[in-house]
């Protein structure tokens, strides 16, 4: 069985080097532009990190596909058995707000499934990494520790992590129905999934269609490597093999023990909200 050790080591190195690029811009009075179509802010940091990561991955793995947020992705991922999905800075709004809660996502999908992931937070030097079926680790100031989601099965005992920038009524409704009373705010999708992977939180919902495969490939691989689950709001997995890059049915990330009970409630609310047509 191929262990993907070389791919993981390379992705970790590239993520840390890209993190230095982000911090270099972070220390300046950078300009902020709005993306076309209301897709949020973009900065010089996004574009420079994107170019660096894409170039480094293509140099290292010339036969693999690379799909990245700030690139022309018209070629799509479907032509490749192996395709890297890159978000050079997930949480650009957090970068703009200077709260440190942004991260680099480098994920590898094989045969359409998220398989390897690296999520790196430059501020605080925290790196999550994992390979599905082979486990994962977090590295930070406290050292290197194995990732493992919690085994909390009772929905009312779950700890919810919510977006700092995009509060959702549907998430509030789900929390109320499940009896969840504990929550934590966090920026990047990858950092939220990292909190689940290290058992600091248990549940995360992204309840709009404003996310893309590069947002969740790396976080999904890290979370699944830690024993967790990431699906759409209907409980179905996303494929990374086709031309569709937008996550039109939102995201549900949860520990495995509570997933079935949570997923049925989430799907019901998502259907009522028209997110599961």
61: its two tokens: 């793995």
103: its two tokens: 């991260």
252: its two tokens: 């549900």
Task: Please enumerate, by residue number, every residue annotated as part of a binding site.
Answer: 69, 87, 90, 215
Contacts of 83 (CB under 8 A, 6+ apart): 64, 65, 66, 67, 77, 108, 109, 240, 241
Contacts of 58 (CB under 8 A, 6+ apart): 64, 66
Give the burial class of 167: count Cβ atoms within 10 A of its Cβ; 0-12 exposed, 13-18 middle, 19 or more buried. exposed
Rounded distance between C-alpha atoms, residue 158 and residue 33, angstroms: 38
Task: Please enumerate, by residue number, every residue annotated as part of a binding site for Mg(2+).
Answer: 69, 87, 90, 215
Cα distances (Å, whole numbers) of residue 20 to 15, 52, 114: 9, 11, 26
């Amino acid at each position: 069985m191929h262990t993907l050790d070389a791919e993981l080591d390379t992705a970790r190195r590239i993520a840390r080097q890209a993190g230095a690029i982000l911090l270099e811009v972070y220390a300046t009075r950078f300009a902020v532009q709005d993306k076309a179509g209301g897709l949020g802010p973009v900065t010089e940091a996004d574009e420079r990190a994107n170019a660096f990561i894409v170039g480094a991955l293509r140099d290292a793995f010339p036969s693999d596909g690379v799909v990245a947020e700030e690139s022309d992705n018209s070629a799509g991922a479907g032509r490749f058995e192996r395709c890297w999905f890159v978000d050079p800075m997930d949480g650009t709004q957090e970068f703009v707000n200077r709260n440190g809660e942004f991260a680099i996502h480098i994920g590898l999908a094989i045969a359409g499934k998220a398989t390897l992931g690296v999520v790196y937070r430059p501020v605080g030097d925290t790196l999550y990494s994992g390979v599905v079926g082979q486990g994962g680790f977090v590295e930070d100031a406290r050292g290197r520790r194995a990732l493992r989601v919690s085994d909390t099965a009772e929905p009312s005992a779950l700890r919810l992590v919510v977006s700092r920038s995009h509060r959702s009524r549907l998430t509030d409704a789900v929390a109320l129905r499940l009896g969840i009373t504990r929550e934590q705010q966090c920026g990047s999708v990858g950092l939220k999934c990292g909190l689940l992977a290290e058992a600091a939180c248990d549940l995360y919902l992204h309840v709009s269609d404003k996310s893309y495969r590069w947002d969740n490939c790396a976080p999904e691989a890290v979370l699944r490597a830690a024993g967790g689950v990431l699906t759409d709001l209907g409980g179905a997995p996303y494929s990374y093999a086709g031309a569709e890059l937008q996550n039109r049915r939102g995201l549900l990330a949860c520990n495995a023990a509570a997933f079935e009970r949570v997923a049925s409630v989430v799907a019901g609310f998502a259907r009522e909200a028209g997110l599961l047509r």
